[in-house]
Chains A and B, each alone.
Chain A
Amino acid sequence: MLNLLGKRLLQLIPTLFFVSVIIFSLQQLLPGDPALIMAGEERDPAVIEQIRRQYHLDQPIPVQYFYWVKGVLSGNLGESMRIHVPVLDLILQKLPVTIQLASMAIVIALAIGITAGIISAVKKNTVWDYVANAFALWGISTPNFWLGIMLIFLFSVKLGWLPASGYVPLTEDWRASLASTIMPAFVLGNAIAAILMRHTRSAMLQVLESDYVRTARAKGLLERTVILKHAMRNALTPVITLGALEFGTLLSGAVLTEQIFTIPGFGKLIIDAVFNRDYAVVQGVVLVTATVYIALNLLADIAYVLVNPRLRS
């Protein structure tokens, strides 16, 4: 187990190195002089020169990369050009909002996706299976920004049940907080539910054909016991680890969802940064996202080994 962990950690070093190269390279894509672009409306040569020195833009690219990585490793992701706040502080400030939204989305996705997947596998080739498959196809094909707009139209404009936009922190008023996040959480969870449904269905179909399920049935156990106690427990192990890998989908979705519902989270931060040409924030958000994704990937691998005794040896 420790060997495996060590091996996986070693593999992460080159991956993290390339992630840093990709994110640093984004800055090189800016057409023209990056110092001029970073200065924005400011045209004072002294300010431009100061930016050039501050970001080591007067140095060769490998030296610029070295300084950038050095900063990142010491927790310095740069400073927002617009509001002059450290990027890391901005990210840490916005992250709890997205974590709340993402947690609710995951709960919704697990509840819908796993239930639909199990029903679909158990009732294979019946109306239930077709409906569940249609749901999965719908979830995968529906752009979440459109679904968000349609839900606002239905639940906010027409029925007036939920607020169309805005965010109330959980600590302030939990009811209002849930009301302000339930729609965006559903929008986010919907696509992941569809993916989870497909994974669950295929894992369940595989498990339902295995010998130990046949034995359980031969012993005369109730079908419900066979499915819930014997089949589901084993089928869900890979599904949950695969679910962890859907983190990327979740964050990608959060970018658009937070924009539509005006939720001041991690996703909205990157969009605002894009519109304000606040490139250090864009780089910081991509870096943090990629690092968290890699960490989750590692945790999913470890969890998979932990719950699967055959892999432990």
Chain B
Amino acid sequence: MNMVDVAVNAKLPSASESFETPLRRALRRLFRRKSAVFGLAIVVFFVALAVFAPLLSPYDPTAQSWTLVRNEPSVAHWFGTDDLGRDILARIIFGTRASLMAGVISVGIALSIGVPLGLAAGFLGGLLDALISRMTDAMLACPFLILAIALAAFLGPSLGNAMIAIGVTATPIFVRLTRGQVLAVKMEDYVEAARAVGNPRWRIVFVHILPNIMPALLVQATLSIAAAIIAEAALSFLGLGQQPPAPSWGSMLNSAQRFLVNAPWMAVWPGLAIFLTVLSFNLVGDGLRDALDPRESGRG
């Protein structure tokens, strides 16, 4: 087959394909990935659990009963009861709130500090860039969980402080990502054109650069939510996050550890809940990365 044959036989894009917006194309690619759809379904499931917790929960998650201490799973208590006779299913359902809130809020904190700093470093350059970059290197040199533990320890144990600690610790990742993306995008012709027609600097940054680096930020944010959920569970497990009697998957695992011989179910469910939530965000993050990757365009 010669080049002419190839050109003649080449499949032309359909009208709907050629006028497809980038968002629609990304969504189409995302929904074509079974693993991403599976992840998204679990995320939606857990969000629904968190939102409708009072309606879905069979019992009050903090109600104790001395007659129900460490009862194994039964028809009345599907996931069993804990060392204080509380229903584990109810605590798992309400614990979703702490985990998802910690994931979303701490990544929100990291984005709101990291993105402006990264934009400033990447766009303005010079001394400011050097200063922000070295600061970022310094923060990245402190292992994520160790810095989060240290921050949470100094701030005091509470879910709010744990979210601040995780958010601040996750910030340098977004600074570095944003800076790198800005450095790549600001050399593009359309940014040069925007500059040439006399757009002010803030407009170039927020109207021309920021929207174009959003896909990379979105992918990182999704994967960071997964890491933040594990970090919150870890801090709660250590007693530095959600405080009792409020339910949290991490603190449930902490108390479960003491009753592993007599009540193993106390450890199974909260761990499984953390695993499934983190897995789902990782699947969505991986799916988004593939869907938003320009190298995938030829295959999409």
Contacts and interface: CB of A to CB of B under 8 A. Distances in A.
B187 interface: no
Contact of B267 (A153, A291, A294, A297): A153
B239 interface: yes
A50 interface: no
Given A137-B283, A274-B238, A29 B154 contact: yes
A26 B150 contact: yes
A30 B275 contact: no
B138 A150 contact: no
Given A15-B134, A143-B233, A152-B260, A255 B271 contact: no
Nearest to A15: B137
A274 B234 CA distance: 14
Interface size class of B (residues with CB under 8 A): 35 or more
Contacts of A283: 150
Contact of A22 (B142, B145, B257, B274): B142
Contact of A270 (B149, B156, B268, B270): B149
Contacts of B260: 149, 152-153, 157
Given A19-B138, A260-B257, A248 B149 contact: no
A256 B234 contact: yes
Of A30, A149, A152, A286, the most chain B CB neighbours within 10 A belong to: A149
Contact of B150 (A140, A253, A260, A286): A286
Given A19-B138, A30-B154, A255-B146, A141 B279 contact: yes
Interface in B147-193: 147, 149-151, 153-156
Q: What class of interface size applies to chain A in its complex with B?
A: 35 or more
Contacts of B278: 140-143
A293 B253 CA distance: 30
Nearest to A21: B138
Contacts of A252: 143-146
Given A149-B267, A152-B260, A271 B151 contact: no
Contacts of B264: 153, 157
Is chain B's interface secondary structure helix, strand, loop, or mixed overall?
Answer: helix
Contacts of A62: none
B135 interface: yes
B253 A146 contact: yes
Nearest to A278: B153
A279 B146 contact: no
Nearest to B281: A141
Contact of A289 (B130, B134, B146, B282): B146
Contacts of A259: 238
A289 B234 contact: no
Interface in A255-303: 255-256, 259-260, 270-271, 274-275, 279, 282-283, 285-286, 289-291, 293-294, 297
A18 interface: yes
B151 A26 contact: yes
Contact of B230 (A21, A143, A279, A294): A143
Indicate the member of B145, B270, B274 with the most A CB atoms within 10 Å.
B145
A27 interface: yes
A220 interface: no
A293 to B, nearest CB: 5
A45 interface: no
B261 interface: yes
B31 interface: no
B209 interface: no
Counting chain A CB atoms within 10 Å of each CB, which of B153, B155, B156, B230 scores highest?
B153
B40 interface: no
A-B complex: 3 closest residue pairs judged by Cβ atoms:
A18-B138, A146-B271, A252-B145
10 contacts: A14-B134, A16-B138, A21-B138, A22-B138, A29-B155, A140-B282, A150-B267, A247-B143, A255-B149, A271-B149
